[in-house]
Amino acid sequence: MGIKAALPSYELGFYAFIVTCAIAYSGYGIFEASRGSVNRKALQGGIKPGWHYFGRKMDVADFEWAMWFTSFRNVILFALSGHVLFAKLCSMMVPQHRSVVYMLYGILAVLGTMGSTYLMIILSHCVVLYSVSLAKQKWLCFVSGLCSLASFKLEPFSTWQSGFVTGTFDLQDVLFYGGSGFTIMRCMSFALENCERKEGNYSIFNLLKYNFYLPFFFFGPVMTFDRFHTQVGTSELRRKGDEMWNIRVQAVVHLGAIVVVDIFFHFFYILTLPSDIKFMNQLSDWALAGLAYSNLVYDWVKAAVMFGVINTFSRLDHLDPPQPPKCITMLYVFAETHFDRGINDWLCRYVYDYIGGEHKNILKELLATIATFLVTTLWLGPCEIVYIWSICNCFGLNFELWVQTFFGLKPFASIEGSLSEAMSRRIRGFFGAVNFWAIVLYNILALNSLDFALLVSERILFTGFPISTLSIWFITYCGVQLIKERERLLAIEEEKGDKEKPE
């Protein structure tokens, strides 16, 4: 028997129709802008030859995506294929020692890729943070870990350390800072978990096995030490009946997503267009709004594919890695906005939840979010645009709690209690639409530029008022209602599944 929706089916159909038409109209505007700007001199740096036989050029403005699927593709496939081969042999012959094999292979791969000096730098940081963890003082572990992280993120310390690593490897800088940053986050997780251990200490080999697990080493995601140590220490390696099938399906989905993004980059230059502010002023309000939204969707797809590919390899090793980021289309609250679930889990465990508690006290929540975004700012690399991004998102997260607390007061709660379920849902959807665009505008700061974010904000909120502002607001409201209905149905299905489970 089907589950009845909280809203009538015709109303949901209307919302879906409106949202589909709006996306199609906005997409057409972006397509026309891409086609009309392909030969503009200001965009030549981000648009390179693509499909010659179809007469299409390609958007290559995202260095990270281009790196992964051109110069880094063969390296990562070769290294990870070797890891899977050795891991499979080890799991069949000596499963109780598989973590040691992972560590040895990872160390050899890092040594062969980056050289002995880089390996010594990483090992020195591991030894220092391990020594600090023996004191079992969380504040000392945090201070030491943040100082180590700052040594890779702030000048002149980062240049001084990178200067020891010499060579002509094209991806040397990327791998240097990637592996170094994730190493420090892993070492801090190890140190903090060691502080929690009541009897004795973890050995330094536990840290090395954790840090040099190759699939996570250079590009993450970060799996907290407690989870990794528990999972990799299991010698009984059994899979569920459909686990391998799910791994294959996920691999095919990721491959399909890569192909779709490649096709998309040949027809929509969403990453390069925002760099030409003069040309952006000529676009319609709808095309600008669609361009901002599509940039966030692409960044989510990129994170989902990159972490998804790595996670597929880790699942072959019988690990349960951090989940992929939640689709940006499904978000209308700041509390669920993140593109790296591993870093988000790390921050929540050691900073946000530790300080914020149940996240109901306004003062504790403010302190928790400030501390979280201070660490995030250091992790991303302090600079003007990161400062602005952190302040905006920190404010958005706190403002949600302030509004929720304010309307949770007795007078407003009683008013909402007297309203019908549908009306209460519509009012919340009204505010959710505002929040959705706040998330979009705040995050395109980091994805594009401050100038582009200011232009989109001005056109949507001021120049486009009232027609563009209210129409885009209404379209977003329709989308939020669809998201809420999907969440309600998922909650009902989950509740049914819990009831059907045997006690």
Give the total number of structural domains in the chain. 2
Same domain membership, residue 279 and residue 181: no
Collapsed DSSP state (helix, strand, coil) of residue 357: coil
Among 179, 206, 232, identify where a domain stops: 232
Q: What is the pLDDT of residue 501?
A: 58
Cis omega (within 30 of 0) on the bond before 382?
no
**Domain range for residue 294?**
9-53+247-500
Indicate the pTM of the whole model: 0.90
Q: What is the pLDDT of residue 98?
A: 84
Same domain membership, residue 181 and residue 105: yes
Look at residue 4 and tell me if it is in a domain. Answer: no
Distance CA 244, CA 422 (A): 43
Same domain membership, residue 35 and residue 167: no
Cβ neighbours of 300 (radius 10 Å): 20
Q: What is the pLDDT of residue 1?
A: 33
- Give Cα separations from 67 to 312, 436, 472 (angstroms): 20, 31, 35
Q: What is the pLDDT of residue 477?
A: 92
Look at residue 170 and tell me if it is in a domain. Answer: yes
Q: What is the pLDDT of residue 2?
A: 38
Among 174, 208, 232, identify where a domain stops: 232
Look at residue 238 and tell me if it is in a domain. Answer: no
Look at residue 242 and tell me if it is in a domain. Answer: no
Same domain membership, residue 329 and residue 464: yes
Same domain membership, residue 25 and residue 129: no
Tokens 């042999």 belong to which residue? 89
Cβ neighbours of 167 (radius 10 Å): 11
Confirm if 188 and 211 have CB atoms less than 8 A apart.
no
Same domain membership, residue 382 and residue 322: yes
Same domain membership, residue 114 and residue 29: no
Same domain membership, residue 178 and residue 105: yes
Same domain membership, residue 19 and residue 119: no
Among 207, 232, 257, identify where a domain stops: 232
User: Could you say which residues of the chain have pLDDT below 70?
Assistant: 1-7, 71, 73, 168-169, 497-503
Instruction: Give the pairing of strands 47-51 and 56-59.
Output: antiparallel
Distance CA 268, CA 289 (A): 14
Look at residue 353 and tell me if it is in a domain. Answer: yes
Q: What is the pLDDT of residue 423?
A: 83
Cβ neighbours of 255 (radius 10 Å): 12
Look at residue 439 and tell me if it is in a domain. Answer: yes
Tokens 């599944």 belong to which residue? 497
Residue type at 23 in one-letter notation: I
Q: What is the pLDDT of residue 124?
A: 96
Look at residue 58 and tell me if it is in a domain. Answer: no
**DSSP one-letter code for 223:** P
Look at residue 103 and tell me if it is in a domain. Answer: yes
Confirm if 50 and 261 have CB atoms less than 8 A apart.
no
Q: State pLDDT tens for residues 103-138.
A: 999 999 999 888 899 999 999 999 999 999 999 999
Same domain membership, residue 188 and residue 251: no
Same domain membership, residue 347 and residue 438: yes
Same domain membership, residue 487 and residue 369: yes
DSSP codes joined into one string, 97-124: GHHHHHHHHHHHHHHHHH-HHHHHHHHH
